Amino acid sequence: MSTPFYVSPQQAMADRAEYARKGIARGRSLVVMQYADGIVFVGENPSRALHKFSEIYDRIGFAAAGKYNEYENLRIGGVRYADLRGYTYDRNDVTARGLANVYAQTLGTIFSSAGEKPYEVELVVAEVGETPEGDQIYRLPHDGSIVDEHGSVAVGGNAEQISSYLDQRHRDGMSLAEALKLAVQALSRDTNGSEREIPAERLEVAVLDRTRPQKRKFKRIVGRQLQRLLQADGAVTEAESSEEGSEEK
């Protein structure tokens, strides 16, 4: 009778973590960043159908890097959790902190399970507050830990290099145009430090805009509005924004 192959628990967990990190790093990076009127999500995404950013609830947005089918399952679960909690209790009881805890439990259980492979995903859950001080951004790596982020965060691809670039240049009170340009500059930097051009057609951009009068603060920035923001020196006015009647929700 042959002796069963033995791997120490420490080595097994290290191998699972390395597997997940490599899978996440193969995806394109994305950036989530605070600006004066809310939180902006920016990523390189040539697909118009497979979104990296989505609305979860009134003031809560979701961003993910990694395997699409895995983070899409998590997104759908998050929407169901939010809808059920808001219906059962109150809409104000649905928070980014509560959603992040649910995701952390799910990712942690999958990561520690020997019966299935770890998810190759890294998530960001963000909630826009009444003021910039009330904004919340949580990053959830593959192992289910929760990191409370402030200002800006990058996940996927060469996230460490992008985060370092943003930490040196991001400041409070930036306009949407300034934040968007900074995010694109960070995403366009290769691992060797050289820059490449990312056309607007390959960008996916969304915001949680605290100034919107309706309860739902999430909206996508597309078309002419995105082009104007990339070319502008300041924020797009409300009148210009309202011209984009075809913006996605």
Helix 96-112 with 68-88: angle, nearest 10 deg: 130
CA distances from 127 to 97, 161, 164, 170 (A): 9, 25, 23, 19
Rounded to the nearest integer, the mean pLDDT of the chain is 89
CA distances from 65 to 10, 12, 45, 119, 243 (A): 26, 24, 11, 11, 31
pLDDT value at position 245?
A: 43
The residues near 234 (Cβ < 8 Å, ≥ 6 apart) are 175, 177, 178
pLDDT value at position 195?
A: 81
Confirm if 183 and 42 have CB atoms less than 8 A apart.
yes
Confirm if 65 and 87 have CB atoms less than 8 A apart.
no
Distance CA 194, CA 56 (A): 36
User: Does the pLDDT at position 238 exceed 50?
Assistant: no
Domain 10-236 carries which CATH code?
Answer: 3.60.20.10
Confirm if 113 and 107 have CB atoms less than 8 A apart.
no
The residues near 99 (Cβ < 8 Å, ≥ 6 apart) are 56, 57, 60, 78, 81, 82, 125
Which token pair is 27? 């995806």
Distance CA 129, CA 131 (A): 5
The pLDDT tens digits of the residues spanning 63-109 come to 999 999 999 999 999 999 999 999 999 999 999 999 999 999 999 99
Domain layout of the chain by residue ranges: 10-236
- pTM for the full model? 0.88
What is the pLDDT confidence band of residue 235, given thresholds at 50, 70 and 90? very low
The side-by-side arrangement of strands in the sheet containing 136-140 is: 53-57, 60-66, 121-127, 136-140, 147-149
